[in-house]
Structure 1
Amino acid sequence: MCHDFYIDSLQWKREFFYDLSGKTIAPFVTSGGSGFSNTISAIEELEPDAEVADGLSLGSSQASNPGDAVSEWLSSIGLAA
């Protein structure tokens, strides 16, 4: 996923997304503090027929060693064993 401020560009949205109907979107970001901002609502608007799973936002202190957090997150949303 991109940094959340890029999601505000309408042109970027149109170029990146395509029909993900029936698919699961698992959003994640690394952030120095802004988290998801408007990213989740933008994805839900662009992909109304897709499932948007709970996202993972890693702060800068977690970004250098995200393994455990990512594994736990993927398990919690049903995308890993």
Structure 2
Amino acid sequence: MAKTLIAFFSRADENYFGGAMRYVKVGNTEIVVNQMKDLIDADTFKIDMKDPYSPVYMTCIEEAKKDLRKNARPELTSYLDSIDAYDTIVLAYPNYWGTFPMAVATFLERYDFAGKTILPLCTNEGSGMGSSEGDVRKYAPGADVKNGLAITGSYAADAKAAVEKWFAENGLKKGY
């Protein structure tokens, strides 16, 4: 039986919402991931950095920019033993500086995605997928990277219908 993994990076604390800063206990990407759990049978793995970015939004984005410029590979708090059991990986993350946070690169480079399908989902406040789809292809050679879904973070709580349609377009449904 085919198995699906939802791997995601999400950040709570102070976040940017359509022109204003707001403190949140659950990050936008994780809000969308929690909706996914109602739509498909999948295991989940949260990509957490050992040394997380600042809870202050403006400091966080500067730290993320520094990591991107250095092509850093932040250490994660934990790793999966293997992804061999999974055929499909839903990879969800926020858009940081036009792509995914570098902790996602840490995750991607750790495993062999050859022959696997990756569905990228990116939360953002207007910058869409950026270059992240191409970057997923770069860091996960041999994977079949499908067209991603961009979700505006301010509307993450209302993303379920869009995610359900995207899953259906990609052959994922409950029980898959």
TM bracket (short chain): 0.7 to 0.9
Aligned-pair CA distance for 1:12? 5.3
- Aligned to 2:151, what secondary structure does the other structure show? strand
2:117 touches 2:144 (CA, 8 Å); kept in 1?
A: yes
Q: Higher relative contact order by CA 8 Å / sep ≥ 6: 1 or 2? A: 1
Structure with the higher helix share, 1 or 2: 1
1:24 touches 1:52 (CA, 8 Å); kept in 2?
A: yes
Task: Give the share of equivalent positions with the same residue, in percent.
Answer: 30
Q: Counterparts of 1:43-62 in structure 2 under 5 Å?
A: 43-62=136-155
1:4 touches 1:38 (CA, 8 Å); kept in 2?
A: no
Q: Which runs of 5+ in 2 are unaligned?
A: 1-91
Q: Which residue of 2 aligns with 1:67?
A: 160
Q: Which amino acid aligns with 2:166?
A: W
Question: May I ask how many residue pairs the two structures share in their alignment?
Answer: 79
**Computing the radius of gyration over CA atoms, which structure comes out larger, 1 or 2?**
2
Aligned CA distance change for structure 1 residues 67 and 47 (closer, same or farther; 3 Å): same
RMSD: 2.1
Deviations 1:25-67 (A, max 9, x none): 0100111011111111111111121111111111245312111
- Aligned to 2:100, what secondary structure does the other structure show? helix
Q: Which runs of 5+ in 1 are unaligned?
A: none
Aligned CA distance change for structure 1 residues 47 and 29 (closer, same or farther; 3 Å): same
- Aligned to 1:26, what secondary structure does the other structure show? strand
